[in-house]
């Protein structure tokens, strides 16, 4: 299971396709939504963002297998990997145009 632990507005603007939005402030109260025995990968804004580290610590402390995605959503999108944006109740692909000189 891939968790986006950024604030909901950031998830709505763009996220890794298939990721579940579970902002760090809600993670503890929504823990039951993550089935026991499920491996979790958490991500946030990038390598220096602590939300994903905090999520891994919280999940691991409660007996869950959790890892942090090394990079975050900005790097994922810049590499033109599958992304989505939330539009009402349906998911639509986002279009990412890399800046000149970007990876």
Overall CATH class of domain 2-92? alpha beta
Predicted pLDDT of residue 87 = 56
Q: How far apart are CA 26 and CA 84, in angstroms?
A: 21
Positions annotated as catalytic residues are 44
b/e per residue 52-85 (b: at least 16 CB within 10 A): bebbbebbeeeebebebbebbbebbbeeeeebbe
Q: How far apart are CA 84 and CA 93, in angstroms?
A: 4
Predicted pLDDT of residue 55 = 98
- For residue 28, is pLDDT > 70? yes
Closest CA to 84 of 7, 10, 33, 5: 10
Domain range annotation of the chain: 2-92
pTM of the model: 0.81
Q: Once rounded to an integer, what is the mean pLDDT over residues 25-35?
A: 95
Predicted pLDDT of residue 96 = 41
pLDDT digits (tens, 9 = 90+) for 56-94: 999 999 999 999 999 999 999 999 999 998 754 444 444
Predicted pLDDT of residue 101 = 52
């Amino acid at each position: 299971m891939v968790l986006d632990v950024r604030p909901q507005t950031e998830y709505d603007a763009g996220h890794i396709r298939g990721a579940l939005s579970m902002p760090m402030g809600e993670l503890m109260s929504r823990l039951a939504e993550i089935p026991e025995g499920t491996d979790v990968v958490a991500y946030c804004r990038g390598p220096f963002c602590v939300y994903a580290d905090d999520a891994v610590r919280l999940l691991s402390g409660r007996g869950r297998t959790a890892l942090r995605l090394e990079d975050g959503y900005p790097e994922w999108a810049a590499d033109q990997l599958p992304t989505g944006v939330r539009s009402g109740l349906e998911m639509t692909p986002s279009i990412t145009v890399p800046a000149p000189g970007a990876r």
